[in-house]
Every structure is written in structure tokens, then in C-alpha cells.
A and B are shown apart, each in its own frame.
Chain A
Amino acid sequence: MVISPETRAAIDEAIARTPQPRGALLPALHLVQAEHGHISLELAAAVAEILGIRSGDVMEVVSFYDMFHARPQPRHHVSVCTNLPCSLRGARTLLAQLEAHCGVAAGEPTADGRLVLGREECLGACANAPVLRVDGTYHEKLDSEAARQLLDGLE
């Protein structure tokens, strides 16, 4: 796995916008993950070299932040907010229904690698609970039927 010239150019732009190269680490990791789906040790080493820091500095950041993944991921991330405002409006029931529908528990990817169901700690859409985040997009005020259809529509 290598960082493409396009991604490299975008990382260089991020470096130019920050006073120290390391300030571009989060932007760089978002870019690399968008290209490769996860940040392997090899990719972390490449990012470290670009920014002039150690691989360990990169991996400790990857492991600290929930949105960065060190391992290959299923094609889609589906997460249900289960914090208090959503729980009060049926989010946990919805998650249980989706677990049954997909035949997996939250946190386990489906066998075909299509998706992983997860719990999210407050997505900041509390007035429209329950809320589902599918990859980068929010789906609000969902009932169980609409949520199942949404999941079935994912490739």
C-alpha cells in the first residue's frame, strides 16, 4: 500500500497551512484513510516520514481517536447513537432490531464484509432521535422499517 500522488499533494497542502508539519497529522490520517480504508503500519510509517516524526507518534494517534482504524474495515460503518437522548426515544430497541436483521451483534462485521453495526456516543442530532450514521451521512428520526431498508440498500 502506497500513498497516491494526489493524496500526497493534499497532505503537502495541509502541511503548508499549519505552523509545524506535525500539525498536519490529523488531516493526513483522514486523507490516507479515505484512500485506503484504514491506516496500516506501513501507511503510518509513510505518513511519519512525510511529517518528520516517528511511526509510534502516528500509531498512538491512530489508536487514540475512534474514527481512525488500524485494521481493514468492512465496506460500510453503520452506527446507532445510544447515548441518553436517543435511548429515551427508542435507539436501543432500534439497534437490537438491526442486530437481528443483520444477524450480527454490534461491533462484529457481517461475514461478507459488507458492514459493521456499532454504537455511537452522541452524534449531536438529539432533537431528531433516533439517529443512524451510515459512513459519513446522518439519517435522523428513523423507524425500524426505514432503517432496515437503508441497510439493505448498502452494497
Chain B
Amino acid sequence: MGPQVPLITNYLTQHFLDDAAVGLEGYERLGGYAALRRALENSPADLIELITSAGLQGRGGAGFSTGLKWSFMPADGELPKYLVCNGDESEPGSFKDRILMERGPHQLLEGILIAAWATGAEKTFLYVRGEYERPAEALERAIAEARARGIVGTNVCGSDFAHDIVVIRGAGAYICGEETGLLESLEGKKGQPRKKPPFPAQYGAFGRPTTVNNVETLCHVPHIVNNGADWFRGFGTEKSPGTTLFGVSGQIARPGLFELPLGTPLDELVFEHAGGPAADQRVKGVIPGGLSMPVLPADQLDVPMANEFLRERRTMLGTGGVMVMDERTCMVRASVVIAHFFRDESCGQCTQCREGTGWIHKLVERIERGAGVMEDITVLEDICAKMEGQTICAFADAAAWPIQGMLRHFRGEFEAHVVQRRCGFAESFEL
């Protein structure tokens, strides 16, 4: 059946076009689970050192050092300790984890088992987004295969290490991708994020020390164990090593999933790999990292896709979801779609977020209809500034940033809507 999406492959995705490589037999034939066996011969401390020196950064949005995160787990102390794999991919524009789970379930399980050994976890909760029924089924099949072969269970690959993996399906709530929202959801509660500290390494799932890692992050781990830190640092930039999966969508000739080194220039992604916009169109703006990240205008697409460079342009890599908009698209209308999403998905726990996301949507929608006044634009800026950094989790920031980005680069479009009392983009998508 194939991955059903155009691919550029590298080490994570090299076998994704081959249906025979999805199951355990095919995965092992291609060298699968060798990294796990090697890892089990090393101490957890050595593995944490390896992943830290490789410079692997979390691929779930925040980009935190994976090795450092693992090192926060208490090295001894009472069991149980847990690993949580975050497969709640819900960031609009992002679809990499779905393909990783469907096409490479054993690669993920191998990464999980190595991470579990390194952090002393006795059980992994693999939390899969509720809508992702097919990926969840692929993982259940892979776990059953691995259990039957003694790769998951009381003696992982014949060692003394015991580990079990449980798939838990979410039920349609974006906020459960936030790691402590996810932990609440695992415990059978509303997915409302927790105050930090305490961090999950101290007080995680069911109150026990827990590491939470994203799907893609864990998929890199076996490759680092097999090939070493220096090999991994041969991809990407000095500060952001490795490849990542860029999901390119929107008004572009060849949308797809492209595994490329971090630091690949955005214009190379958009024009070379994704084929650029339609023949008679020009790119207007690109959202570089999922809906939460501020847009970049057409004259800033030379930026290398790594956080150290994107931060200079006041945006971030996020989840690598690249959305391309051409000149037909009304940026105010795009802002209405963005604002609607965050209003809908706010968990309602913090006032700034619950009220702020509603007001942003109301104001942007009013401007789009041609019923806005100039003051609405400054009120929007004021609301965004008052949401940033003021709440329990980063959702409020994620709701404010894209609107701030639109106002930073396309303020003229907002003003034109107010002055002309209408939207002047006849060819933009209808709301």
C-alpha cells in the first residue's frame, strides 16, 4: 500500500516504500533490533551520555535536549518508573508521526525499548491520537509480534530487563499533546496541563517518575546507537544535528514528507523539493513549523530550517509542518482559521487563554468581514502580549504567536480590510 504520500528518504524513512519492511521479519532482515541488543550491553549512564553527545533534540515542538531530559530521571530509587511516548500528533500542518507509526512501527518500538533501558522505565504508555486508528492498529500488531519473539516482555532480548508497552488511544483533544495534559489523560482525566514544577521526571504518570518523548525523537535513537554520535552530527547543523521530517502542504506543486538534514534552507524545501507554487503564482508566506509558529514572508525564505536561525526571524521549527500560501490567499482569512482552531482547542483552565483565544477569533473575524476598526488591530496586539508566558502551559503562546506573526509581516492587509470595509481577496479560499 506504500506510505501514500510523496517521500524524500534518509535513515528514518529509507524502507518506508517497502511494504515487506513494516513487519518484524522484514525489520529484522534489514538489521532491526541490533541497536537494542547493543544498548542492553551498555549501561544506562553510557547511553544517556551517547544521546547527549549526539545532540539529539526533541522533535515534538520544543526542541529540548533528549539526553538531558533522560538524565533528569532518578538513576535509582523505587520502581515503578515510566516512559511515555507522545503519539498525539495534532499540530495542524504536521503528519510525520502518523507515517512513522504506520510505516515503521518496529523502529519506534526499538527506540522506546532503548529509551526505557536508559531511563530505568518498567513500562511505556504509547499514547496515540484518537483519530489515528490505523497507526494504533499497526503498533498493536508490532507489539504482539515483538512480544511473541521475546523482544517485549519479562526478558527483553534474553536480558534481565523487563519491559511492557501499552497503547492508549486519545479521544480528540489537541491539548493532550502537551506532555502534562497527556499525563492527565492517561490517568483517565480531562487533558488539562499541570503546573510545573514538579516536572514529569519527578512526578509524572500516576505520580511516578516519567520521561515523555515524541515519536520521531525516539525513532532517531536506534540509528544513533548503531552509528554513533559523530555519524549523527554529520547531518544537520552544529547546534541542531540529525535529519528531521518536514511535512510540506498548502499551495504547492508537490506536497509531501521530506526527510532532510536540519538546517536545510526553507526556499530549497519549498521550491526544489516541493516544486514551488502553481505556474502563475508566487509564494506570499510560509508557516515553517505547524500552525503555532509565526509566518515568514516571501523575502525571508532563505532561512536555514533549524531553531538557531529561525529564532533570529522570530519563529521556530516547531513540528516541521511547512504550510505554503500563495498570493491568492488572504492573510486575515488565514488568521481567522488559525484563531478558530485555538479558540476551539483551549482547555479553558487559564483565564488569559480561555478568554484571549475567544477575543482574538472575534476580532480577526470582524476585521475579515469588513466590520473592524483600526483600534481592533492594536487591541489584538495587546491581547496577544497579555497571553504570552502568562499561563500554565505553552498553548496560550502557541495561540498568540501566529497572530503576532501575521500582524508583524502582513499588517497592511489587516488595515486594508478596515479601510475598504471588505476583504479584497476574491480568489482566496471561502471561510
Contacts and interface: CB of A to CB of B under 8 A. Distances in A.
Interface string B292-330: 000000000000000000000000000001011100010
Contacts of A19: 80, 205-206, 208
Nearest to A123: B131
B169 A121 contact: no
B359 interface: no
B177 to A, nearest CB: 11
Contacts of A67: 130-131, 171-172
A88 B98 CA distance: 21
A84 B255 CA distance: 14
The range of chain A's interface size is 35 or more
Interface centre among B131, B168, B186, by most chain A C-beta atoms within 10 angstroms, is B131
B413 interface: no
A89 B250 contact: yes
B101 to A, nearest CB: 10
B249 A85 contact: yes
B256 A51 contact: no
B72 interface: no
Contacts, number: 155
B16 to A, nearest CB: 14
Contacts of A64: 173, 190-191
A18 B190 CA distance: 17
Interface in A93-143: 93, 96, 120-129, 133, 136-138, 140
10 contacts: A24-B188, A66-B171, A66-B173, A67-B172, A85-B93, A122-B341, A124-B94, A124-B98, A125-B95, A126-B92
A26 interface: yes
A115 B369 CA distance: 31
Nearest to A121: B341
B251 interface: yes
Given A25-B188, A51-B188, A84-B337, A30 B171 contact: yes
